[in-house]
Structure 1
């Protein structure tokens, strides 16, 4: 058996590079500015729920980072956009409470968490946006994903 060369970095597969995540965020924020929305916080998570990139606009309130992450993390955890989770669960308080407990409080059941898919339709991450109304947050997330050349789930177009 050959010895391991600890000086050579291990090559890890990256489905969603930092450059693409940053482009998604910048496009989402450009969409927000074009629509004169409130200050936003935008996060991109990899498929494991880890932060790749995050921006919080000046004037975005203190909890916005946690809310944006919670929207994206919940979408990944449930395997559907956060809007789908909200629509499916409706007013089911027991289920919402169960998800909150199971996720350690990380799940935020509000639209604005959108799944990112590659060219083959495989989910590779999620974008979470917060700061304006949920509809506007979701639109900015979708705009950002599409501008970077990826598929958004949902894609209303």
Structure 2
């Protein structure tokens, strides 16, 4: 029964973001294979994209929930932490330490619509971010790393 429901949903709403990212894996697998083993966490947008939500207490890679909650890629959060450490410290306190303000958390955009965020950790922050951006772009979406 479940497969039929999923087929009807895919026919009427197109594929989910997860399905597109997994389906396009062969397009960016060569790039991803050059990196150290990575941990990936994704967070779906829970609002229209113009509001912030509280970070969950247990963040996957820590980067995607922070990027989504703050409405900017984690590279922008990294820059903000250098310029306004007190702000990032305050937000991280509220988030119970779940905010990771280093590159690797990227917002997923479909035109002007915020779909969610993906965070990767395991290599250097710049390589983590490059892997995420490649995956999002391979799925035909726009990446906003900050």
TM-score by length of 2: 0.71
Structure 1 residues 71 and 46 mapped into 2: Cα distance closer, same or farther (>3 Å)? same
Aligned mates of 1:128, 1:46 — CA distance in 2: 12
* Structure with greater proportional helix content: 2
Secondary structure, counterpart of 2:88 in structure 1: helix
CA contact (8 A) 2:118 2:132 kept: yes
What residue is the counterpart of 1:60 in the other structure?
A: none
Tell me by how many angstroms 1:24 deviates.
6.3
Alignment of 1:53-68 (within 5 A): 66=59, 68=61
CA contact (8 A) 2:103 2:145 kept: no
What residue is the counterpart of 2:41 in the other structure?
A: 43
Aligned mates of 1:71, 1:26 — CA distance in 2: 24
CA contact (8 A) 2:105 2:145 kept: no
Structure 1 residues 14 and 48 mapped into 2: Cα distance closer, same or farther (>3 Å)? farther
**Number of aligned residues:** 125
What residue is the counterpart of 2:3 in the other structure?
A: none
CA-atom RMSD in angstroms? 2.9
Cα offsets for 1:65-117 (capped at 9, x unmatched): 9562x101110011010001111231643222211112122111110000000
Which aligned segments of 4 or more residues in structure 1 are displaced greater than 6 angstroms?
Answer: none
Task: Tell which deviates more after alignment, 129-138 or 20-29.
Answer: 20-29
Tell me by how many angstroms 1:20 deviates.
2.0
Tell me by how many angstroms 1:44 deviates.
2.1
Tell me by how many angstroms 1:14 deviates.
8.7
Cα offsets for 1:39-61 (capped at 9, x unmatched): 11112221139xxxxxxxxxxxx
Which blocks of at least 5 consecutive residues in structure 2 are unaligned?
1-8, 48-57
Aligned mates of 1:24, 1:74 — CA distance in 2: 25
